[in-house]
Amino acid sequence: MFIVKTLHIWMVISWFAGLFYLPRIFVNLAMVPADSVAERDRLLLMAGKLFKFMTPLGVLAIVFGFWLWFGYGFGGGWLHAKTALVAVLAIYHWHCGRVLDAFRAGNNQRSHVWFRFYNELPVIVLLIVLFLVVLKPF
């Protein structure tokens, strides 16, 4: 199970790198002047490649997480809370894909300030999950 746990941690770290950086690209995309087509295209290319890269990492993080859960057994309410927060992250990831589609279609209606706050959600969720995993409060 240590190999599975190691793979889970590796996938989570890699997935979070994408969850932290993709919304930061959205901040930059929201700030691109209308006449700067090359800059917009470059940021969209980066965002698209990152989203394609981070999606399988997220799937593998969740698969290895469930493998650990079923391998070690169902123990404690903290694990159910963590699983609920992982579901929030999966929805956030999916929503990032919808935001990327809106940018590609030229339909983004949100400001760079909004995306700066949007960018903080995975940071907050990660902190809560870390406390749950380390402290196992319930």
Domain ranges for the chain, please list them: 2-135
3-class state of residue 1 by DSSP:
coil
Q: What is the pLDDT of residues 35-68, one digit of tens each?
A: 999 999 999 999 999 999 999 999 999 999 999 9
Type of residue found at 110: R
pTM of the model: 0.94
What phi and psi values does residue 108 have, to the nearest 5 degrees? Answer: -65, 130
